[in-house]
């Protein structure tokens, strides 16, 4: 069996999720990676270095800037006959491209895969993560989106073969105009090993800075509940939960988060959870591996001070 993985990249940098998707895809067979875009030489080199990658197929065209589904779908449709599985991350690009490709190929996609049980058996969460569904697909070809957070990244040190793909016929329907970004040097939330999340009980954007300070000391990513984002305390791309990002860090520190179901759906993959909350009956406090019950405005500064005393650096 041969597997094609669609690489995601931004600003000339390969997404950290790609190594995780390759690790998952390697359970199915030999893996090729498709890098699409313009001026993607560095992305190509990074993809070729991922262990388990046999070939990196490179499609260069200005029409592929922005990785729009309209431009990517015909390209993937052309390449699909060479593969038994076509896979993308369950992120913005993959969630847009794979269903469109499935319609073109008259196939049923399997989305949000968190475990691979065989070449045609997969597990995916349903009902906001409250149940796990096992899907058996008897189709001749499989189109998957995979939750990168559910898999460990593949190792580095490979030197996969690089081969060009003709993209001269690719035409983008939409034109990429601009990107508006949240500036910061914190780790990517979707793949971070440590995440510090804050809830609406912090009370204001200024007080939410406590969460950012604690994350900064730990070299962690910053997350937020939907209520905190809606209140304007944190940007949209920090939202964790069913309607935000799904994370699976080694450690999740929840500051002032009660534990609404939609937020819990986003952190079910966390290996260890520490909850800081004044309510001992809060759902997340009961779920946590460790709970610090008390005033977060006393506990969090004390934690930061202790980390500084111990000389903990990012």
pLDDT tens track for 34-86: 999 999 999 999 999 999 999 999 999 988 988 899 999 999 999 999 999 99
Domain with CATH 3.40.50.620 in the chain: 2-164
Reported pTM: 0.84
Query: Hey, is 42 helix, strand or coil?
Result: helix
Compute the Cα dihedral for 43, 152, 112, 135 and give only its sign: positive
**Separation between Cα atoms, residue 116 and residue 135, nearest integer Å:** 10
- Structurally, at CATH architecture level, domain 2-164 sits in 3-Layer(aba) Sandwich (3.40)
E strands, the chain, in order: 2-6, 9-10, 13-14, 30-37, 53-60, 85-89, 110-113, 115-118, 121-126, 131-136, 142-146, 161-164, 194-198, 221-224, 251-255, 272-277, 290-293
Confidence grade of residue 314 (pLDDT, cut at 50, 70, 90): low
**Separation between Cα atoms, residue 21 and residue 11, nearest integer Å:** 20
Domain with CATH 3.40.50.1220 in the chain: 194-309
Percent of the chain with pLDDT over 90: 77
Beta bridge partners of 16: none
Task: Supply 283's token pair.
Answer: 């759902």
Reported as a single tens digit per residue, the pLDDT across 96-108 is 999 999 999 999 9
For 248, the enclosing helix (H) or strand (E) is none
Q: Which CATH class is domain 194-309?
A: alpha beta
Residue 185, pLDDT above cutoff 80: no
């Amino acid at each position: 069996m041969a597997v094609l993985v669609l690489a995601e990249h931004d600003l000339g940098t390969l997404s950290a999720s790609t190594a995780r998707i390759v690790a998952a895809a390697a359970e199915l067979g030999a893996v090729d990676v498709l890098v699409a875009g313009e001026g993607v030489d560095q992305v190509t080199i990074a993809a070729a270095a991922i262990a388990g990658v046999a070939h990196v197929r490179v499609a260069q065209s200005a029409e592929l800037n922005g990785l729009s589904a309209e431009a990517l779908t015909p390209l993937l449709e052309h390449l699909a006959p060479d593969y038994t599985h076509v896979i993308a991350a369950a992120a913005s690009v993959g969630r847009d491209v794979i269903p469109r490709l499935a319609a073109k190929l008259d196939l049923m996609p399997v989305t949000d895969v968190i475990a691979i049980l065989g070449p045609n058996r997969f597990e995916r969460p349903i009902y906001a993560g409250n149940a796990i569904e096992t899907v058996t697909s008897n189709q001749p070809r499989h189109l998957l989106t995979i939750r990168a957070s559910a898999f460990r990244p593949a190792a580095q040190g490979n030197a996969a073969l690089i081969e060009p793909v003709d993209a001269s016929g690719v035409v983008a329907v939409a034109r990429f105009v601009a990107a508006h970004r949240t500036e910061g040097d914190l780790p990517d939330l979707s793949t971070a090993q440590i995440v510090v999340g804050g809830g609406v009980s912090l009370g204001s954007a200024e007080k939410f800075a406590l969460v950012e300070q604690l994350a900064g000391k730990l070299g962690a990513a910053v997350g937020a509940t939907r209520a905190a984002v809606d209140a304007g305390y944190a940007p949209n791309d920090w939202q964790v939960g069913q309607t935000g990002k799904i994370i699976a860090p080694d450690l999740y520190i929840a500051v002032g988060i009660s534990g609404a179901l939609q937020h819990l759906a986003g952190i079910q993959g966390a290996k260890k959870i520490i909850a800081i909350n004044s309510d001992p009956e809060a759902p997340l406090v009961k779920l946590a591996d460790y709970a610090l019950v008390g005033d977060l405005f006393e506990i969090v500064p004390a934690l930061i001070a202790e980390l500084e005393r111990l000389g903990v650096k990012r």
